[in-house]
Structure 1
Amino acid sequence: MTTTVAFIGLGHMGGPMAANLVRAGHRVLGHDLVEASLAAAVESGVERAESAADAAAVADVVITMLPAGRHVLSLYGPEGLLAAARPGTLFVDCSTIDVADSRAAHAAAAAAGHRSLDAPVSGGVVGAEAGTLTFMAGGEEAAFAEAEPLLAVMGKKAVHCGGAGAGQAAKICNNMILGVSMIAVSEAFVLAESLGLSDQALYDVASAASGQCWALTVNCPVPGPVPTSPANRDYRPGFAAPLMAKDLGLAANALRAGGIDAELGLRAAELYARFAEGSGADQDFSGIVRAIRAASSNTTDAQKGTTT
């Protein structure tokens, strides 16, 4: 069954996701403020909409993939998508935003007579292109059931996590685990190097022992052991460090608001914020191993200077 979809936000993630919907036979009207992104989407079969509201006005489902909560809430405002859409339109926000902003978006959609779902994703650009994303959804079960066929086109798994904002909650918790584990894996490789242990030897042991994790076996932060990891492409982003910094920042805000004693989560947010603002601005998040290695060398040099 063909669905008419308005897709707002056609960047590195949204563009491939929209293209997968087109390939599956759906009509997709797209809009993006960046002309290059919109043009690339049009080449993949997305119909150009001159504005987000124009796309929403004729859509059965409106999907948004935007940088931050303020962008979502702005488009959901009184003069935006909600006013342009036909009554009862399903809104699916795939952006990663603050849980409070997500719940506010749900409330605005309901007040305007629409149904809504928050459905942030995991899997990065590679997953968006391959249609293998994981969706974490929050909202009413009926809304999830309606959106599920579209999510199945864009991803390999969709999990209904609960009510409004539950998808965002799952996303920031998941990425806090990922950020902390990538730092731990990176520190272990730098330690191994200092002890004369090869990257391959550490990988062979840890990948088959209790140190096994996604950050090691799929996104290994050093070149060699996992040929498909970004480390083998000079850390060209699959999941960019600034995006990890953003997600960990959202997690840190939630930790503080909830009074959660989470030293590793807060520290990971600090480390990735610093990395993303500096050398990691255009790198994969696994590139933090370079920052750890550089800081370790500096520390060692300083210690040598002190002792001599």
Structure 2
Amino acid sequence: MAAAVVLGGPAGWWRWHRRVAAMVCSRAMASKTPVGFIGLGNMGNPMAKNLLKHGYPVIAYDVFPEACKEFQDLGAQVTDSPADVAERADRIITMLPSSPNAKEVYTGANGILKKVKKGSLLIDSSTIDPAVSKELAKAVEKMGAVFMDAPVSGGVGAARAGNLTFMVGGVEQEFDAAKELLTCMGSNVVYCGAVGTGQAAKICNNMLLAISMIGTAEAMNLGIRLGLDPKLLAKILNMSSGRCWSSDTYNPVPGVMEGVPSANNYQGGFGTTLMAKDLGLAQISATNTMTPVPLGSQAHQIYRMMCAKGYALKDFSAVFQFLREEETL
């Protein structure tokens, strides 16, 4: 009886029921509105595919038209520029190689900001300089839209499986809206703070990853030269205090693990040139904050040397092969 009074009797109950149903339906339909995706490389390709798998119409763009053909076959709309993506979608994810690429895609002659709609949510999953993320956020804010940095960790395998970790920086009130999309592509979506903090977390993570990969490669190389079977050595490391992601999930030694770049002549995965770029970002941040990072600096030099000696397009775990072939560093 009390409920009937509150709702205005049976007629009121049905009006309330229809209103709630309409609201739920509206939210469900809104959640499946088109999502723009710019940058369909090794990481962006599987990320965009996971959005499609979750029922989101994708409006795609890549500087290389051949990268878009597969998505066109999958039913995605393909555009001629980032500006065209912004004209058709008010939620856009970008996955780009470097800070200059991000600047061009957002603020260039045919960039997103040329046609961005007020209220749009722009999520950049590139790994770039935190200062550039802040710069882009200001430009986006002037256009009445919202920018968040959301770089990823996990590599191509995690991108395919939808198990990426996203480190998100931006206005906290917008985090839930970003998380709705990012959980389609990742199993961990972590709010880090203001714009730029996502990038800060990512470059710290990648600096540690590079150091641990070099350490794993050195330990494995030494053990093999001392007569140990590499699979046995890896097993021992992975049940001991030396265990790390580079040893137990992404081992750099050919023949130790299947399904990783070292098992495929270091093809695919995360390129050496990209690791060198990320370590460079870490060095810039360390200099700006007067933070000593001696191992990070040494790792940066090693990966730069690798790029200069023909390893640029190989996966960063090829540091094992590089060490095997180099008599001295």
> TM-score by structure 1 length?
0.92
**Partner amino acid for 2:99?**
G
Return closer, same or farther for 1:281/1:95 CA change in 2, 3 Å cut-off.
same
RMSD of the alignment, in Å? Answer: 1.5
Aligned residue among 140, 145, 152 for 1:114: 145
Q: What is residue 8 of structure 2 aligned with on the other side?
A: none
Aligned residues: 297
CA distance in 2, matches of 1:230, 1:10: 20
Residues 123-176 of structure 1 show CA distances to partners (whole Å, capped at 9, x for unaligned) of 222222222211111001122210111101111111111111011000000000
Residues 197-230 of structure 1 show CA distances to partners (whole Å, capped at 9, x for unaligned) of 2212321211011101000000111123322332
Does residue 1:15 correspond to 2:45, yes or no? yes
Matches within 5 A, 1:146-185: 146-185=177-216
Larger mean CA deviation between 34-43 and 170-179 belongs to 34-43
CA distance in 2, matches of 1:293, 1:93: 37
Q: What is residue 324 of structure 2 aligned with on the other side?
A: 293
Does residue 1:250 correspond to 2:303, yes or no? no
Q: Which has the larger radius of gyration?
A: 2
Q: Percent identity?
A: 41
**Partner amino acid for 1:263?**
P
Does residue 1:217 correspond to 2:217, yes or no? no
CA contact (8 A) 1:116 1:143 kept: no
Does residue 1:92 correspond to 2:92, yes or no? no
Does residue 1:201 correspond to 2:237, yes or no? no
Give the drift of 1:78.
7.5
Does residue 1:284 correspond to 2:320, yes or no? no
Q: What is residue 135 of structure 1 aligned with on the other side?
A: 166
CA contact (8 A) 1:54 1:84 kept: yes
Return closer, same or farther for 1:130/1:257 CA change in 2, 3 Å cut-off.
same
CA contact (8 A) 2:97 2:274 kept: no
Aligned residue among 32, 35, 47 for 1:2: 32
Structure 2 residue ranges without an equivalent (≥5): 1-30
**Partner amino acid for 1:177?**
L
CA distance in 2, matches of 1:88, 1:253: 33
Residues 232-265 of structure 1 show CA distances to partners (whole Å, capped at 9, x for unaligned) of 2222121221111111111111112221111100
Aligned residue among 56, 67, 78 for 1:48: 78
Q: What is residue 34 of structure 1 aligned with on the other side?
A: 64
CA distance in 1, matches of 2:124, 2:48: 13
Return closer, same or farther for 1:194/1:78 CA change in 2, 3 Å cut-off.
closer
**Partner amino acid for 2:246?**
A
Larger mean CA deviation between 191-200 and 180-189 belongs to 191-200
**Partner amino acid for 1:168?**
Q
Return closer, same or farther for 1:78/1:284 CA change in 2, 3 Å cut-off.
closer
**Partner amino acid for 1:5?**
V
Does residue 1:126 correspond to 2:132, yes or no? no
CA contact (8 A) 2:42 2:269 kept: no
